[in-house]
């Protein structure tokens, strides 16, 4: 007997790219005896010893201080999240960028995925008058996690990116602004920067034009900076950030090496923060304080900014360069194009003319113990056919270099076999 017949169940229990991704991560934590897995598929950050040393220090400090330990373990936070941390976030952003904001412009959520679920359903979906509002993704491919958080069908609409071919086997996505202003029934515009999956970093000019479009349509611009500035700062191009009363900036502690704390951060106009706070109270009483207590003094002192610029960003930039070199060596006889790495810790691979779908390539690689993500998952809201979406893979280069090299070789072998 099927007990789960509600519309809510229908939406959340169906197969999704996010479910596939997280199930792969779960399987990789318990491989069969004698089987080696190469986890190039998920979004797990690297374990950087210098960063983990800082967190060990912070845990010792927390354990030795009754007040910090109480916040860390023994008390609910406010429904908007730990107050001291929210003050620290607002102060850091005001210092770095000159923005006029306070803790009233900051709310925490139980991870960024929860933040997008709340924001998309607050701003889009079925309306009281029977109409429908949608979230515009102006640069597809886009983040896999946006695809299924809406509680109604048809909540996303996407514009395929323009492809700029670059020397050396690289390419870059650009926003196609033509026709964006004609897309109707918008409740919000949303972009990730750096873009997950491609590592593309929208220019400040592109962001400013999207912000102007959002203002003209009377909707907010959501900027997902989970991988970028100000922290963790895994952004190799286009430094700087845009925020104003119409921008909803989403940050995260996950890519600082703290994914288990599930700490998402929303920086927005006070009315957005009040709405998110109400949702937090109803759905979960309050977000966790563990990540906030660990990071707050690092943020307030400026130590976190130094760690991001001197440890985290160089670490991932090096991993990215190494992986590109290995890919180009392994695929020298194949029609490989790599999106120019501008941020995050993924490489986005395009094999023009791939004779099998990327979903089939994913299955063949998984059978060999190599976990990647099929490109077709990263085009939520794009209904028009586009062969490009079935010719791409996303790989995570944050894992151990030997594992990345083994995975890259397997990818080359399987693509070569498919094309022979």
- Can you give the CATH number for the domain in which 197 is found? 3.40.640.10
Residue 70 included in any domain: no
336 and 315 fall within a common domain:
yes
360 and 290 fall within a common domain:
no
119 and 11 fall within a common domain:
no
Task: Give me the pLDDT at residue 26, please.
Answer: 64
Task: Assign 329 to helix, strand or coil.
Answer: helix
312 and 253 fall within a common domain:
no
Q: Which domain holds residue 344?
A: 7-50+306-419
264 and 394 fall within a common domain:
no
Tell which residue, 95, 149, 140, has the closest CA to residue 383. Answer: 140
Task: Assign 96 to helix, strand or coil.
Answer: helix
- Give me Rg for the CA atoms of the chain: 21
31 and 176 fall within a common domain:
no
Q: 194 preceded by cis ω (within 30°)? A: yes
Residue 311 included in any domain: yes
195 and 319 fall within a common domain:
no
Among 275, 302, 329, residue at a domain's last position: 302
349 and 226 fall within a common domain:
no
Residue 59 included in any domain: no
206 and 264 fall within a common domain:
yes
> Is 0.85 surpassed by the pTM of this model?
yes
Would you give per-residue pLDDT tens digits along the chain (420 residues)? Answer: 678 777 777 777 777 766 766 677 566 656 566 678 999 998 899 999 999 999 999 999 999 999 999 999 999 999 999 999 999 999 999 999 999 999 999 999 999 999 999 999 999 999 999 999 999 999 999 999 999 899 899 999 999 999 999 999 999 999 999 999 999 999 999 999 999 999 999 999 999 999 999 999 999 999 999 999 999 999 999 888 999 999 999 999 999 999 999 999 999 999 999 999 999 999 999 999 999 999 999 999 999 999 999 999 999 999 999 999 999 999 999 999 999 999 999 999 999 999 999 999 999 999 999 999 999 999 999 988 999 999 999 999 999 999 999 999 999 999 999 998
Helix H, strand E, coil C: the string for 167-222 is HHHEEEEECCCCCHHHCCCEEEEEEECCCCCCCCCCCHHHHHHHHHHHHHHCCCEE
Residue 71 included in any domain: no
Residue 399 included in any domain: yes
175 and 265 fall within a common domain:
yes
The enclosing domain of 395 has a CATH number of 3.90.1150.10
> What Å distances lie between residue 297 and 62, 68, 84, 339, 347, CA to CA?
11, 11, 10, 37, 33
Residue 44 included in any domain: yes
Total domain count, the chain:
2
Residues paired with residue 293 on neighbouring β-strands, in sequence order: none
Residue 115 included in any domain: yes
Task: Assign 52 to helix, strand or coil.
Answer: helix
Among 259, 286, 302, residue at a domain's last position: 302
Among 250, 279, 302, residue at a domain's last position: 302
218 and 99 fall within a common domain:
yes
């Amino acid at each position: 007997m099927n007990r789960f017949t509600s519309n809510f169940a229908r939406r959340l229990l169906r197969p999704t790219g996010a479910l596939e991704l997280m199930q792969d991560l779960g399987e990789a934590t318990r491989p069969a005896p004698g089987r080696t897995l190469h986890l190039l598929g998920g979004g797990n950050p690297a374990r950087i010893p210098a960063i983990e040393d800082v967190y060990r220090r912070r845990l010792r400090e927390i354990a030795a201080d009754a007040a910090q330990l109480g916040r860390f373990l023994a008390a609910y936070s406010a429904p908007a999240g730990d107050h001291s941390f929210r003050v620290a976030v607002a102060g850091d952003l005001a210092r770095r960028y000159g923005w006029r904001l306070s803790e009233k412009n900051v709310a925490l959520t139980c991870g960024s995925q929860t933040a997008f679920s709340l924001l998309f359903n607050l701003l889009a979906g079925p309306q009281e008058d029977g109409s429908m509002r949608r979230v515009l993704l102006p640069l597809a491919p886009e983040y896999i996690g946006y695809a299924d958080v809406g509680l109604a069908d048809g909540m996303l609409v996407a514009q395929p990116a323009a492809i700029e071919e670059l020397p050396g086997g690289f390419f870059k996505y650009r926003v196609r602004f033509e026709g964006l202003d004609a897309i109707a029934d918008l409740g919000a515009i949303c972009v990730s920067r750096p873009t997950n999956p491609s590592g593309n970093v929208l220019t400040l000019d592109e962001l400013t034009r999207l912000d102007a479009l959002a203002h003209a349509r009377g909707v907010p611009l959501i900027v997902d900076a989970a991988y970028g500035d100000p922290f963790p700062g895994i952004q190799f191009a286009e430094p700087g950030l845009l925020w104003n009363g119409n921008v909803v900036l989403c940050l995260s502690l996950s890519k600082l090496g703290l994914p288990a704390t599930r700490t998402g951060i929303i920086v927005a106009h006070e009315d957005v923060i009040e709405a998110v706070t109400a949702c937090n109270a109803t759905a979960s009483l309050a977000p966790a304080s563990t990540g906030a207590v660990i990071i707050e003094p690092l943020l307030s002192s400026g130590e976190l900014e130094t760690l991001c610029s001197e440890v985290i960003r160089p670490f991932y930039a090096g991993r990215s360069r190494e992986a590109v070199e290995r890919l180009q060596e392994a695929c020298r006889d194949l029609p490989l194009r790599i999106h120019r790495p501008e941020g995050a810790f993924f490489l986005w691979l395009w094999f023009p003319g791939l004779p099998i779908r990327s979903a089939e390539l994913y299955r063949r690689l998984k059978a060999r113990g190599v976990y990647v993500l099929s490109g077709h998952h990263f085009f939520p809201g794009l209904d028009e056919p586009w062969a490009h979406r079935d010719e791409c893979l996303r790989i995570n280069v944050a894992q151990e270099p030997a594992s990345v090299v083994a995975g890259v070789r397997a990818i080359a072998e399987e693509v070569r076999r498919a094309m022979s």
